[in-house]
Chains A and B, each alone.
Chain A
Amino acid sequence: MNENNIRQLIERFLNAETTLEEEQTLYEYFQDENVADDLKPYREVFQSFAAVKGIDKPVTKSTPAWVIALRTVTSMAAVFLIGLFLFVNEETPETPQMTTATAQTEYMPDLCEGSTPRELYMCYLEQKREQPKTYSLIKRMIYENEH
């Protein structure tokens, strides 16, 4: 590095005008033993600045494996639950047979009773198989019961 450049850098350094890269240049120059005579007085201070560089930088820890695993499982579970919700809400489009008179007589599904969510689910699933639009019929039933 040109000695005149170094002298200019030192001046800028003392005016707090240098960039981090320029400061690094200064530190590296003074690590070497071969320093111009008039610059020798600066050696100790710049070596010391080099020694303390970055010692208080907070250490960024990488995320532990178990956190990553937990996040993956949680997001997978969320996707599964959303999919399940959409599936249960699925309404099959009306088939032409539905317009016949027999189909018009209201098929009233039974409100399922079960002790576990699984029982309820299986029961509604069966009813859904027997009659499409069961879910919306049940919803309407519940709505009418409450109002």
Chain B
Amino acid sequence: MTTETFKDEVQAMRPMLVGVARGVLGSDEEAEDVVQDALLRLWQLRDEPIRNVRGFARIVVRNLCLSKVRRKQVMVDIGKADIADETETTNNEQIDRMMTLVDALPTMQQTVLRLRHMQDMSMADIASLIGTSESAVRQSLSRARRSILEQFTRIMTTD
């Protein structure tokens, strides 16, 4: 995709994406920030075979918004830490730790991993949603999982 076609496609999609973000976040300013972030990531993926750019962009925006919401929720939970029971705290800690790592993944890996793990989507559905092949999805998911495992191992051994 050239810079020109990217700009044109982006212009067309932007209002829709801001709408999606606003729906999750409620704030216009935050929505704009998230969409900006998403478009930057899309630009980095401009040479990837993604047939459904609109759909993919929508998913990326939604996931970025959910991350943001979750990070805010973590701040709230920390305040309640002593009241919550132990099993719930461990569970929350595990979720937070995992999500921090997921958030740091490259966009394609992150998107595929989220669709698979957090939305229980089948490989076929993920492929058709993004507009790539199943083998491309498998490759991204494999990389994501290995990356996460590696980071977990590193955390565990340095503790």
CB neighbours of B71 from chain A (8 A): none
Q: Would you call B91 and A14 a contact (CB within 8 A)?
A: no
Query: Within the complex, which residue of A13, A15, A55 is in contact with B118, where a contact is CB–CB below 8 Å?
Result: A55
Tell yes or no: B158 within 8 A of A by CB: no
Name the residue on A nearest B137 (C-beta): A16
Q: How far is the CB of A35 from chain B (nearest CB, A)?
A: 14
Tell me whether A54 and B138 are in contact in the complex, defined as CB-CB below 8 angstroms, given that A13-B145, A41-B153, A45-B148 are known contacts. Answer: no
Q: Would you call A52 and B117 a contact (CB within 8 A)?
A: yes
Q: Would you call B120 and A47 a contact (CB within 8 A)?
A: no
CB neighbours of A48 from chain B (8 A): 94-95, 97-98, 152
Query: Within the complex, which residue of B114, B137, B141, B152 is in contact with A56, where a contact is CB–CB below 8 Å?
Result: B114
CB neighbours of A68 from chain B (8 A): none
CB neighbours of B99 from chain A (8 A): 52
Query: Within the complex, which residue of B66, B114, B156 is in contact with A41, where a contact is CB–CB below 8 Å?
Result: B156
Q: How far is the CB of A75 from chain B (nearest CB, A)?
A: 31
Name the residue on B nearest A13 (C-beta): B145
Q: Would you call B120 and A57 a contact (CB within 8 A)?
A: yes
CB neighbours of B102 from chain A (8 A): 52
Bound CA–CA A55/B113 (angstroms): 13
Tell yes or no: B44 within 8 A of A by CB: no
Query: Within the complex, which residue of B118, B148, B156 is in contact with A53, where a contact is CB–CB below 8 Å?
Result: B118
Q: How far is the CB of B91 from chain A (nearest CB, A)?
A: 5
Interface digits, A32-71 against B, CB 8 Å rule (1 contact, 0 not)? 0000000001101101110111111110000000000000
Q: Would you call B117 and A49 a contact (CB within 8 A)?
A: yes
Tell yes or no: A20 within 8 A of B by CB: yes
Q: List 12 A-B contacts (CB under 8 A).
A: A14-B146, A41-B156, A44-B152, A48-B97, A48-B152, A51-B94, A51-B98, A52-B95, A52-B102, A55-B95, A55-B118, A56-B66
Which residues in B have some Cβ–Cβ distance to A below 8 Å?
63, 66, 91, 94-95, 97-99, 102, 114, 117-120, 122-123, 137-139, 141-142, 145-146, 148-149, 152-153, 156
In addition to A41-B153, A51-B94, 19 A-B residue pairs with Cβ atoms within 8 Å of each other are A13-B145, A14-B145, A14-B146, A16-B123, A20-B120, A20-B122, A44-B94, A45-B149, A48-B97, A48-B98, A48-B152, A51-B91, A51-B98, A52-B98, A52-B99, A53-B117, A53-B118, A54-B119, A57-B120
